[in-house]
Amino acid sequence: MSTEEKVIVFDTTLRDGEQAAGTRLGVREKLELAMQLAKLGVDVIEAGFPVSSPQDFEAVQLIAQQVTGPTICGLSRAVDKDIDSAGAALKKAKKARIHTGLGISDIHIASKFKDEKYGKTLKDKKEKALDMGVKAVKRAKQYTDDVEFYCEDSGRADKEYLYRVIEAVINAGATTVNIPDTTGYSIPEQFGQLIADIFRKVPNAKKAVISVHCHDDLGMSVANTLAGVRNGARQVECTINGVGERAGNASLEETVMAMRTRKDFFGIDTKINAKELYKTSRMVSEMLGIFVPPNKAIVGANAFAHSSGIHVDGFLKNPLTYEIIRPEDVGSPKSAVVLTARTGRHGLKHRLSELGYKVSETELEQLYQRFLDVADKKTEVFDEDIAALVGDEIRAVEHIFELQYLHVACGTGTLPTASVKMKVKGKDVPVIAAACGDGPVDAAYEAIRIAAGQSPKLEHYSIKAVTGGKEALGEATVKVIDKNGVRFTGRGVSTDIIEASAKAYVDAINRMMAKE
């Protein structure tokens, strides 16, 4: 990668990400994820909040000992025992950072520092908080030079006070100052302006790295993070898949790929090895038990899937018509054309040729009509469905009988009955019959025998689901024996298994009659 200026990527999946409701990672799982984050190339791993539990302490300690490459960071409040705990957990790290800080918006100060020991008025409490912040930085400096200070709830803070806090903690030795939009309240223009104002109003702002840490309560965490970068922030705090407290944090994969894909706009990049993004996303999803929505940018199952006719047609001519990132660039499985009712003939033809079927234009048209029938009933048509349709349609003999109508009535305590109508080749009037049977398939077969005036012996019958799901195609196979002992096999495919069975029987009779 070039020597151009880079934005520092601070990953907090193991700390803020793990704060997502209902999730908890074990120490070994955290270590495994930290190793993967190192492979991904993040600059800083926030490994946990050591004072919060013995497990968190152990996880931070283990990661500090075993994960090399990124800086390992531990969170603390601006409280001595937290800072000492973080310092102890990080002792063995090659590069250690303590991330300390406190709430600095009026609402945080007034609510969290209610006790009069912090002062009687809000003004007094704010002075006390500022003093605590400065002391926290100085204490953390005893453990490591690399100290980050978070000004919690900066997005809703009194700006003049925020500037004072930043100036004071930098003077105390903070090397990074984190400006979190803790409640996801900010709008991108506003948040970008806040970062720009910090550089204008805080005299020593350039002596530290200004970091942005945005939450997604209004769905703007990535936009706010990028607005921060546009205005001079040089560290982004993110989580894989955007997991985190409440609606989550800015997603690392989206933030990083936005800067990389739109380098023309941002003029800056990160050191992330994007080919590891997909794998990391899967690991986080599996370990935290948080499902990645299919439409999730960069790592969702549909992020590189094309389905509608216009898109499929354009994509097959040139992937760049509908893709701004190549799936292989983020380690994702290759782009897919998902066959649905909207895919169009071109998409079907392309999939048939990928599957090795050579079909004529007439066959394609026949298959396309059958494909549409199936696609109308199913959300997605799989390769196995296509294979079954090809077998059913292309292998078909000339139809003497064509099943036009089938009605079956069955249920507990009723006698299964079926009625059929079949078109007969060369005749204007269809044949119709009704019959009872031991079950719905038996009744349908009896009705077909009467209507066709043929009674081959049924030797074998089987049905199987071609693909998964409750709307899977059923494929029926029958073997019949004619009066001379010759066997004929018939197949039928439908999302309705009784219809598939009836079609298979009619197919076998057609083959028998064609032979005769």
Binding site for ligand KIV (CB under 6 A): 16, 150, 152, 178, 180, 182, 213, 215
Looking at beta carbons only, is 133 or 327 nearer to ligand KIV?
Answer: 133
Looking at beta carbons only, is 61 or 183 nearer to ligand KIV?
Answer: 183
Angle at which helices 159-172 and 122-140 pack, to 10 degrees?
30
Which listed option, ligand KIV, Zn ion, none, makes contact with residue 150 (CB within 5 to 8 Å by class)?
A: ligand KIV
Report the nearest approach of ligand KIV to the CB of residue 172 (Å): 18
Report the nearest approach of ligand KIV to the CB of residue 328 (Å): 34
Is 256 strand, coil or helix? helix
Q: Residue 328's closest CA among 345, 306, 303, 347?
A: 303
Distance CA 141, CA 137 (A): 6
The reply on whether position 16 binds Zn ion by CB under 5 A is: yes
Q: Residue 259's closest CA among 299, 224, 226, 303?
A: 226
Which listed option, Zn ion, ligand KIV, none, makes contact with residue 152 (CB within 5 to 8 Å by class)?
A: ligand KIV
Looking at beta carbons only, is 16 or 153 nearer to Zn ion?
Answer: 16
Angle at which helices 383-394 and 361-377 pack, to 10 degrees?
130
Which listed option, ligand KIV, Zn ion, none, makes contact with residue 139 (CB within 5 to 8 Å by class)?
A: none
Looking at beta carbons only, is 16 or 499 nearer to Zn ion?
Answer: 16
Report the nearest approach of ligand KIV to the CB of residue 75 (Å): 6
User: How far from 15 is each of 50, 222, 240, 419, CA to CA, in Å?
Assistant: 10, 18, 12, 66
Phi/psi region, residue 184 (left: phi>0; alpha: psi -120 to 50; beta: rest), is left
Q: Residue 490's closest CA among 474, 498, 499, 480?
A: 480
Size of the site for Zn ion (CB under 5 A): 1
Residues pairing with 478 in the sheet: 461, 490
Which listed option, ligand KIV, Zn ion, none, makes contact with residue 313 (CB within 5 to 8 Å by class)?
A: none
Report the nearest approach of ligand KIV to the CB of residue 214 (Å): 8
Binding segment (CB under 5 A) for Zn ion, from list 15-23, 322-330, 354-362, 388-396: 15-23
47 touches 12 (CB < 8 A): no
The residues, ordered by sequence, that sit 6+ positions from 71 with a Cβ below 8 Å of its Cβ are: 43, 44, 45, 93, 95, 96, 97, 146
Task: Count Cα neighbours of 27 within 13 Å in the Cβ-side half-sphere.
Answer: 14
Under DSSP, the state recorded for 377 is H
Q: Which residue has the tokens 């790295």?
A: 209
Q: DSSP per residue over 50-105, as a string?
A: GGG-HHHHHHHHHHHHH--SSEEEEEEESSHHHHHHHHHHTTT-SSEEEEEEEE-S
Report the nearest approach of ligand KIV to the CB of residue 287 (Å): 20
Looking at beta carbons only, is 16 or 84 nearer to Zn ion?
Answer: 16
Report the nearest approach of ligand KIV to the CB of residue 352 (Å): 52
Distance CA 103, CA 84 (A): 20
Looking at beta carbons only, is 150 or 191 nearer to ligand KIV?
Answer: 150
The reply on whether position 11 binds Zn ion by CB under 5 A is: no
Looking at beta carbons only, is 215 or 378 nearer to Zn ion?
Answer: 215
- 268's tokens: 């800056």
Residues pairing with 73 in the sheet: 46, 97
Binding segment (CB under 5 A) for Zn ion, from list 8-16, 277-285, 455-463, 467-475: 8-16
Report the nearest approach of ligand KIV to the CB of residue 150 (Å): 4
The reply on whether position 217 binds Zn ion by CB under 5 A is: no
Which listed option, ligand KIV, Zn ion, none, makes contact with residue 178 (CB within 5 to 8 Å by class)?
A: ligand KIV
Report the nearest approach of ligand KIV to the CB of residue 152 (Å): 4
Looking at beta carbons only, is 16 or 446 nearer to Zn ion?
Answer: 16
Which listed option, Zn ion, ligand KIV, none, makes contact with residue 71 (CB within 5 to 8 Å by class)?
A: none
Looking at beta carbons only, is 16 or 442 nearer to Zn ion?
Answer: 16
Report the nearest approach of ligand KIV to the CB of residue 134 (Å): 18
User: Which residue has the closest beta carbon to Zn ion?
Assistant: 16
Looking at beta carbons only, is 180 or 331 nearer to ligand KIV?
Answer: 180
Site for Zn ion, rule CB under 5 A:
16
